[in-house]
Amino acid sequence: MTAAQQYYELYRGSSIGEALIDTIDDLINDGRIEPQLAMKILANFDRSIADTLAEKVKSRLTFKVGQTLSCVSREILRSIQGHLETYRFCDDVWTFLVKNVKFKSDGGQEFHADKVKIVSCNSKKPGEP
Amino acid sequence: MDNGTAIAAPQSVAEVEQLIQRLYKPGPASLVKNINDQLLQLQLSHDGWKLADELMASEDANVRFFAALTFTVKLNNDGPTLDDDTAHSVHTRLISWLVRLVQRGEGGLVCKKLCSTLTTYFLRSPLMWKHPLLDLALSFHHGDATVEGNTPRSADEISDILPNLNELQLRVLLWFAGALAEEVSRVPANTPAHANLHTQMENIVKDASVLMQWAFQQQSTGSASAVRAEALRTYLTWINYAQPVWPRNPEALQYLRDLINQASQCLFDRDLSSEALDIFRDILESYTTFFQAPHMEMLAAIIHNHIRPKLQHTLSEQDPDGLPLAQLVIAFGCANIQQVVEQPDSESGSWTIVELLFDILQAQGYPGDEDQLSIQTIEFWNTYIEYVNDTLFTDSDAPDPSWLYQAKDVLKQVVELLWKKVWTPPNEVAKAWGDSESEGFKEFRGDSTDLMLSIYVLLGKDMLQQLVTLALRSLEAEQWRGVEAALFCLNTLSDNVLEESSSEDVVEEIFRSSLFRDVADFSQNIPSQARRTAIDMLGSYGQYIERHAEFLPDTVRFLFASLEMAGLANAAAKSIASLCSACRVSLTTELPGFLSQYQRFLESKTCDPYTKEKVIGAIAAIIQALSPESAKAEPLRALLVNIEKDVESARQYAAEGDLEMAEVMGVTSLESLASIGKGLQVPEDVPIDIYDDNEEQAKKPSYWESAEGREAQQQIVGCFSVLQVVGTYSAAIDAACQVLRTGLTESEPGPFVLPTSVTVNFVQRCSINTPQLETVLSTAGMMITQHSRKDSKRIDEDVRSISKAVAGFCEALRQPDTDPTVAAECINVLSELMPHYVHVLFEEMSASTLAFILSAVQGPDSMPKRTACEFWTKLIKPQTAAISEDAQQRINQVMSSYGQQLVYSLLHQIRGQAQRSELDYVCEPLKALLLHQSGTQTWLQSALADERFAIPRVTMNDRAMFLRQIMGSRSDGRKTKELVKAFWAACRGTVVSYG
């Protein structure tokens, strides 16, 4: 019933996406599927992972960074006050390169990362308000 | 193996029919497969067309379905190569069959399949079919196939025919229209080969819209209702088709937009309203721009006049049928969020939406239980606040918009409604809940507080005051569930509230109230959940309490008292840990009292491994704040005595043969020790006095290096003896590593900054059968990294011992695939020796160890392959610190001995053995070789010419070309990667990328 939607391919670069692509490669290599089918499988993956992450994943993670930017939405800044090294906005995609980040998970557990890249894509399709 | 289910080839049409009938009956999988294989052979045979035609006349619907399927299979396989006459004949036969079957009242199964077959004809035939809907309508009208080919016709013609068709014929036409849109939507729109099909659709939509318009006009009662229902489904399919294909084709889209009004009438149809609600919601959510301003106005009016009273009625009745109504309202609100926010006075477009969403939150029932609607509203309010925040903060210099006051007012109401909705249920209700209800309610609470965080960005202190007032008002009225809900919300906001010191006076109202006195009075009948949330608050607002030391002693005493209450212990332990960590400096005077409270707690029933570990870590954090360092020794040793008691109990249990309890006590002792270590770590935010340049002070040995300090450290090391009892358990090894790591991350000497020999001994006592050996190795790697820093002390002897042990593990493993995780960590430790311990590396590195690392590059496992590639890359590249001439010579020797083998291993991966995801790592040593090893070209040439490299897909010329290109790319790492990926894809016979 759902209307046709375009989905980003960015999750293909995640561990689960890479594992799927490796498996698809093996299937093509063994002559068990054609590359055209692989494209369809990956298109399904793009849709399913985006929908599943949006609908099913309920755990939350907060982090603190620093350095205020006037052009970034305040909502993002709510949790940002540390070492935001670089940010850019290109083709409707925000990218933040953040250093020395402290994450706090749902259970209050904290962990640290030296470097984090946050890629934030528009969940609305091009042309949508 | 056929298991006796072999199928003989059928000899007549009757036998084929029997076979098909058997296919659709239950039977063993092997039989079904064999029948299917036989039938597939027939379908693909030259006589497939004839067979399909003959089967179509069968009395059995399953056989007729199979006949349509056979036509589809034939069209898919032979369609594009058919000559014009055959194509025309097939076309006529298909339409003729459909017309005749519909005349006989054929069921949906076969008719839908034939519609799908006709669509396959449309897609695969060499003849263009310009007017499929018109032709089928005419054929129905004339009672047999009427295919006019490509002769031009007026689009109005179909409107003359439709009134003459019966309901089944109309439904079949709609099925066909839907199948066309669905199947063509799967054809790429951006390739020239398929562009023509999509151009045809721009014409077909004219007939399709006339057809749907006629269908929507049918009566909404009796069997004609089915025609309207089908029209609704076909309509959505066409909209789905149009969305990606016609974003810049308003003329074609207009045919579909013209139907919005008629389609919306289905919202009033008793039989169709549920489906219509779903369809309109779907379009609003995923294709908002399909609706233009007049359409939105019309929908707003429908919501105001028609949906609002129905939704309000279902809310008052707690009727679950309200769900699709609410979902449509929410979708409409989200799609028109700008209007809802900026024109709050527009009655139907804005206020009705906000009012209905308030009504939903005000309705009776608990979210996750009987209230299924409130959770849905969160999405709308998130969109609302996101829009407000985006608009306001994009240009912070702009004056406040006129609608801001009303938006704030709306959001304040939302906060209060959410507060009321997150009240926990009374016991009698909660007891009747299953997991699903509890989870649903918990999810709603989480989503609500997330939303509140976003609202707090806008409302700030006003919202804090609102929640504090709600809490205090409930406290006064002794409505403990109300108090709990407000505290729960306040806890979520704590991080943000604590950032603004101006909010402290508001928080103070809570701490000055009777709240904590009341909850600490265990004689009062207060729900435990309220007590738990109050305890959580003390943890969440630890920084506030730290700044207001007057609240601290009572707070901690209350927490220690709660620690002994069943049901509160875990929350209390967690808050004690967080509060003591935050307020360590202010609590040092209370330390003796806490130590004795801890002793009492150890005797209580609520003392378990979790609470014990949390509380002992909390006390350790207070000890950390003592000054000078020597003052820490005595209380630390007092804590260690408790660990030693656990170690002793573990030993006793083991001696008595109770291994289960021995494990529990042993692991607890080590985990508690790690918790003490963590508590004693110097906090990251300790101020550094940059003017304190006292070199004398710096040179002075630390207390922990003195005999007295060493004694305390010995006591810590002594606890490791428990590993003699529990050393075969993963959890124990993990915990022991955790103890060592707490010291490794410290930059100054401390009680847990143990002599490096402790880690070395620990590694030396391990064998490849030690559980969690990878954790032990990674701890050793961490120690080497710490001692590789610029100003850190070099530990050649210890590193030498670790290298020896690691080389021993590699030898014992023989091959990396024996245990890929351990192998990867072994290689990683050896990698860490570069550059500062590179001399040690070559002292201890035997030929077999190098061969082990080389075989990891060539092996099937990703982890060792990755670390081995990193090892070789580090070795090939110039070392990043000065190394001795001797060491450099050894590196050169290794490269001249192993360079050829390494190149062969890398090429083996690139020729197709590596997975696509591994190529990035495999490229790194190759890039380093190209840049830094002069013999690389010869090695590559020799490896590419090797017979073992031969694969049919890649010729000698291809290999020579690859060599030329890769050598040319030596200074361009990105180019090297691209070439490697292209060559890998060519060797594998696959695509370079799926993007």
User: Residues 204 to 243 of B: which have CB under 8 A from any A CB?
Assistant: 236, 239-241, 243
Rounded CA separation B840/A108 (Å): 42
Contact B912 A70 (CB under 8 A): no
Q: Return the pLDDT at B4.
A: 53
pLDDT in tens, B904-956: 999 999 988 999 999 999 999 999 999 999 999 999 999 998 887 778 888 88
Q: Return the pLDDT at B522.
A: 84
Q: What percent of chain B has pLDDT over 70?
A: 96
Residue closest to B183 by CA, chosen among B279, B265, B118, B88: B118
Q: Categorize the per-residue pLDDT at B409 as very low, low, confident or very high, splitting at 50, 70 and 90.
A: very high
Which candidate from A4, A22, A128 shows the least CB-CB separation from B917?
Answer: A22
Which candidate from B244, B393, B994 shows the least CB-CB separation from A74?
Answer: B393
Rounded CA separation B723/B728 (Å): 8
Contact B912 A1 (CB under 8 A): no
Q: CB of B563 within 8 A of CB of B576?
A: yes
Chain A residue whose CA is closest to B397? A70
- Nearest C-alpha of chain B: how many angstroms from A34? 9
Contact A78 B453 (CB under 8 A): yes
Bridge-based pairing of strands A83-90 and A110-121 is unpaired
Interface of A with B (CB under 8 A): 1-6, 9, 12, 18-19, 21-22, 24-25, 28-29, 35, 38-39, 42, 58, 60, 62, 70-71, 73-75, 78, 81, 108, 127-129
DSSP-assigned letter for residue B683: P
Q: CB of B558 within 8 A of CB of B516?
A: yes
- Nearest C-alpha of chain A: how many angstroms from B416? 21
Taking CB atoms and an 8 Å cutoff, what residues of chain B touch A18? 916-917
Rounded CA separation B586/B589 (Å): 7
Cross-strand bridge partners of residue A117: A97
Taking CB atoms and an 8 Å cutoff, what residues of chain B touch A81? 499
Q: Would the pLDDT of B442 be above 80?
A: yes
Contact B495 A62 (CB under 8 A): yes
User: Which of A9, A25, A94 best probes binding to B when mutated, by most B CB atoms within 10 angstroms?
Assistant: A25
The pair of structure tokens assigned to B601 is 């707690």
Which candidate from B386, B450, B988 shows the least CB-CB separation from A25?
Answer: B988
Taking CB atoms and an 8 Å cutoff, what residues of chain B touch A25? 915-916, 988, 990
Q: CB of A73 within 8 A of CB of B394?
A: yes
- Assess B28–A contact: CB distance below 8 Å, yes or no: no
Rounded CA separation B849/B831 (Å): 12
Which stretches within B521-629 are classed as H helix?
A: 528-540, 542-547, 552-563, 569-582, 591-603, 609-624
Contact B988 A2 (CB under 8 A): no
Chain B residue whose CA is closest to A34? B990
Contact B386 A22 (CB under 8 A): no
Q: Write the CB contacts of B320 (distance below 8 Å, at least 6 apart in sequence).
A: B314, B372
Q: What percent of chain B has pLDDT over 90?
A: 51
The pair of structure tokens assigned to B180 is 């066309």
Chain A residue whose CA is closest to B451? A75
pLDDT in tens, B136-195: 998 998 888 777 654 555 545 888 888 988 999 999 999 999 999 998 888 877 777 778
- Assess B450–A contact: CB distance below 8 Å, yes or no: yes
Q: Would the pLDDT of B495 be above 90?
A: no
Taking CB atoms and an 8 Å cutoff, what residues of chain A touch B496? 78
Which candidate from A12, A25, A74 shows the least CB-CB separation from B915?
Answer: A25
Residue closest to B525 by CA, chosen among B624, B391, B427, B395: B427
Taking CB atoms and an 8 Å cutoff, what residues of chain A touch B393? 73-75
pLDDT in tens, A1-52: 444 456 888 899 999 999 999 999 988 887 777 777 888 899 899 989 988 8
Taking CB atoms and an 8 Å cutoff, what residues of chain A touch B378? none
List phi, psi (to 5°) of A117.
Answer: -115, 120
Q: Would the pLDDT of A80 be above 50?
A: no
Rounded CA separation B562/B528 (Å): 11
Taking CB atoms and an 8 Å cutoff, what residues of chain B touch A66? none
Residue B942 corresponds to which amino acid?
A: S
Q: What is the DSSP string of B893-925?
A: HHHHHHHHHHHHHHHHIIIIIS-GGGHHHHHHH
- Assess B496–A contact: CB distance below 8 Å, yes or no: yes
State the ipTM, two decimals.
0.79
Coil, strand, or helix at residue B367? strand
Residue holding tokens 């003849």?
A: B127
Q: Return the pLDDT at A79.
A: 42
Q: What is the dihedral of CA A13, A16, A22, A28, to 10 degrees?
A: -100
Q: Would the pLDDT of A108 be above 80?
A: no
Q: How many CB pairs (< 8 A) connect A and B?
A: 90
Q: Return the pLDDT at A64.
A: 67
Q: CB of B348 within 8 A of CB of B303?
A: yes
CA end-to-end distance (rounded Å), chain B: 41
User: Which of A74, A80, A81 best probes binding to B when mutated, by most B CB atoms within 10 angstroms?
Assistant: A74
Contact A108 B912 (CB under 8 A): no
Q: Categorize the per-residue pLDDT at B709 as very low, low, confident or very high, splitting at 50, 70 and 90.
A: confident
- Angle among Cα B796, B801, B804 to the nearest 5 degrees reads 120
Higher local confidence (pLDDT), B414 or B271: B414
- Assess B991–A contact: CB distance below 8 Å, yes or no: yes
Q: Would the pLDDT of B232 be above 90?
A: yes
Q: Write the CB contacts of B568 (distance below 8 Å, at least 6 apart in sequence).
A: B528, B531, B532, B535, B562
Rounded CA separation B185/B714 (Å): 74
Chain B residue whose CA is closest to A104? B495
The pair of structure tokens assigned to B672 is 């508690």
pTM: 0.73
Q: Return the pLDDT at B5.
A: 62
User: Which of B291, B536, B917, B992 best probes binding to A when mutated, by most A CB atoms within 10 angstroms?
Assistant: B917
Calculate mean pLDDT across residues B486-492: 94
User: Which of A61, A73, A120, A128 best probes binding to B when mutated, by most B CB atoms within 10 angstroms?
Assistant: A73
Other beta carbons within 10 angstroms of residue B782's beta carbon come to: 18
The pair of structure tokens assigned to B695 is 């070199």
Measured over the CA atoms of residue B675, residue B676, residue B682 and residue B685, the dihedral's sign is: positive
Other beta carbons within 10 angstroms of residue B631's beta carbon come to: 15
Other beta carbons within 10 angstroms of residue B775's beta carbon come to: 20
The pair of structure tokens assigned to B638 is 């007092």
pLDDT in tens, B679-707: 999 886 655 555 555 555 555 678 888 88
- Nearest C-alpha of chain B: how many angstroms from A81? 10
Q: What is the DSSP string of B474-514?
A: HHHTT-HHHHHHHHHHHHHHHHHHHH-GGGHHHHHHHHHSS
Q: Return the pLDDT at B992.
A: 86
Chain A residue whose CA is closest to B995? A9
Q: Return the pLDDT at A71.
A: 34
Calculate mean pLDDT across residues B288-315: 92
Residue holding tokens 């250093």?
A: A99
Q: Categorize the per-residue pLDDT at A107 as very low, low, confident or very high, splitting at 50, 70 and 90.
A: low
Taking CB atoms and an 8 Å cutoff, what residues of chain B touch A108? 539, 574, 578
Q: What is the DSSP string of chain A?
A: -PPP----SGGGGSHHHHHHHHHHHHHHHTTSS-HHHHHHHHHHHHHHHHHHHHHT----EEEE-----TTS-HHHHTT--SEEEEEEEETTEEEEEEEEEEEEETTS-EEEEEEEEEEEE-SSPTT--
pLDDT in tens, B811-839: 999 999 999 999 999 999 999 999 899 88
Contact A28 B989 (CB under 8 A): yes
User: Which of B237, B494, B990, B992 best probes binding to A when mutated, by most A CB atoms within 10 angstroms?
Assistant: B990
- Nearest C-alpha of chain B: how many angstroms from A129? 8
Calculate mean pLDDT across residues B474-485: 94
Q: Which H helix or E strand runs over B840? A: helix B838-844
- Nearest C-alpha of chain A: how many angstroms from B651? 32
Q: Categorize the per-residue pLDDT at B606 as very low, low, confident or very high, splitting at 50, 70 and 90.
A: confident
Calculate mean pLDDT across residues B750-758: 92
Q: Categorize the per-residue pLDDT at A72 as very low, low, confident or very high, splitting at 50, 70 and 90.
A: very low
Contact A18 B390 (CB under 8 A): no
B609 prior amide bond cis, ω within 30: no
pLDDT in tens, B317-356: 888 888 999 999 999 999 999 999 999 888 777 889 999 9
Q: Is B416 exposed, middle or buried (0-12, 13-18, 19+ CB in 10 A)?
A: middle
Q: What is the dihedral of CA B429, B430, B433, B434, to 10 degrees?
A: -170
Residue closest to B281 by CA, chosen among B265, B267, B262, B292: B267
Rounded CA separation B544/B552 (Å): 10
Bridge-based pairing of strands A93-105 and A110-121 is antiparallel
Q: Return the pLDDT at B152.
A: 52
Q: Categorize the per-residue pLDDT at A74 as very low, low, confident or very high, splitting at 50, 70 and 90.
A: very low
Chain A residue whose CA is closest to B493? A78
Taking CB atoms and an 8 Å cutoff, what residues of chain B touch A12? 994-995
Mean pLDDT of all residues in chain B? Answer: 88
Taking CB atoms and an 8 Å cutoff, what residues of chain A touch B454? 75, 78
